[in-house]
Structure 1
Amino acid sequence: MKKLILSVFIFTFGFATATHAQQVNTLFTKRLPEAPGKEIEVITVDYAPGAVGVAHRHDAHAVVYVLEGEVEMQVRGGMLQRLGPGQVFYESPEDVHTVSRNTSKTKPAKFVVFFIKNEGAPILTPVH
């Protein structure tokens, strides 16, 4: 019984930690009348110390602008890039984002992402 309780505690704590490793906030969404069916969406992403994102795609043009901390980003077939405040990273609609992580185990990181995407489409699709 003790092992079962311990397992449930570890699973619950691990899940809670993983889900709070990054926080996404939508700042702005605007339809583009000159490009029917397209919109701009702007979000901020806060990465907790040591946070790592899952492999994903955006099916959008995405521009990442680092506000604080240091992150590593890489798309499939591209070079690993280490970015600090004021630096920019671009992803095309065809890219698979394979690496997204806070390089620090002690300090948070924050960045803003500007998307041009299909209207109403999700901003992120996990890739398995």
Structure 2
Amino acid sequence: MTIRQNIARTARPLLLACGIALAQHAAAAPDAVVRSLLTQDLPDLPGKEVLMITVDYPPGAVDPVHRHDAHSFVYVLEGSIVMGVKGGKEVTLTPGQTFYEGPNDIHTVGRNASSTKPARFVVTLIKKKGADFFIPVK
């Protein structure tokens, strides 16, 4: 066996292991941190309430596909986020910009646009009283 063949034979498993480790790292993107700010009944809309939350996206954070079954209003505070719903175009939002999701929308894209800087936004949801605000979609 030549030196070149020997290097190729020993390098393949190492390259494969590195590829698997990178894929696992990419699949393990950091989770968003969600904090509730306010829940308020809406007396003039029976059975409805408002929920206000903040969402902190660490660098590289990605949301799973989901829906809210609510009217959702997003306002970006810092950083840059990418949002999109099924059938719509992806948009990149920066501080001061907004995004809307309707009760029937499927949120297909939600992520930090940066792999090095955090992002933060506020979401105001008008939803059924007591209903979950985050519903995973498969």
Q: TM-score, normalised by structure 2?
A: 0.79
Residue in structure 2 matched with residue 69 of structure 1 by the alignment:
79
Which of 88, 99, 108 is 1:98 aligned to? 108
In structure 2, C-alpha distance between the alignment counterparts of 1:51 and 1:33, rounded to whole Å: 36
Aligned counterparts of 1:61 and 1:49: Cα–Cα separation in 2: 27
- Let me know the Cα RMSD of the aligned residues: 1.5
Structural mapping, 1:3-14, within 5 Å: none
- Structure with the bigger percentage of strand: 1
| 4+ long deviations beyond 2 Å | none
What is the deviation of 1:44? 0.2
* Residue 54 (structure 1) shift: 0.3
1:3-54 per-residue CA deviation (whole Å, 9 max, x = no partner) reads xxxxxxx8xx97xx65x52100000000001111000000000000010000
Question: Are positions 1:23 and 2:33 aligned together?
Answer: yes
Residue-pair matches, total: 114
**Alignment match, 1:110:** 120
Gaps of 5+ in 1: 1-9
One-letter amino acid matched to 1:125: I
1:38 is matched with 48
Q: Deviations over 1:41-75 (max 9, x none)?
A: 00000000010000000000000000000000000
After TM superposition, the score normalised by the length of structure 1 is 0.85
Structure showing the higher helix proportion among its residues: 2
* Percent of aligned pairs with the same amino acid: 56
